[in-house]
């Protein structure tokens, strides 16, 4: 995927993760994009390691993996912040 696609995909995954896990987290639009992009990478790495496949295109399965990775990243951020 190209860099623009990763940014759009990260934005969508980050927004969904933020919607599913509302909270008083610092950061706005750019932090949400970064959480989504890094979450997609983390989710893809974990899914590939477990044999489920990874983020390989703009499809529903990749979106689920990216959102789960973003939620995991957001949860980790909140635990470290405490």
Q: How many domains does the chain have?
A: 1
pLDDT at 31 over 60: yes
* pLDDT value of residue 48: 80
Residues 6+ away with beta carbon under 8 Å from 42? 69, 72, 73
**Structural domain of 11:** 3-81
Can you state the percent helix, strand and coil of the chain, rounding each to 5? 75, 0, 25
Contact 12, 40 (CB under 8 A): no
Q: Rounded to two decimals, what is the model's pTM?
A: 0.77
């Amino acid at each position: 995927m190209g860099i623009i696609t990763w940014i759009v995909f990260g934005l969508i995954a980050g927004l969904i993760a933020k919607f599913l896990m509302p909270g008083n987290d610092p950061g706005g639009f750019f932090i949400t994009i970064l959480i989504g992009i890094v979450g997609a990478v983390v989710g893809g790495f974990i899914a590939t390691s477990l044999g489920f496949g990874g983020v390989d295109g703009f499809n529903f399965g990749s979106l689920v993996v990216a959102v789960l990775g973003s939620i995991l990243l957001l949860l980790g951020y909140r635990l470290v912040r405490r």
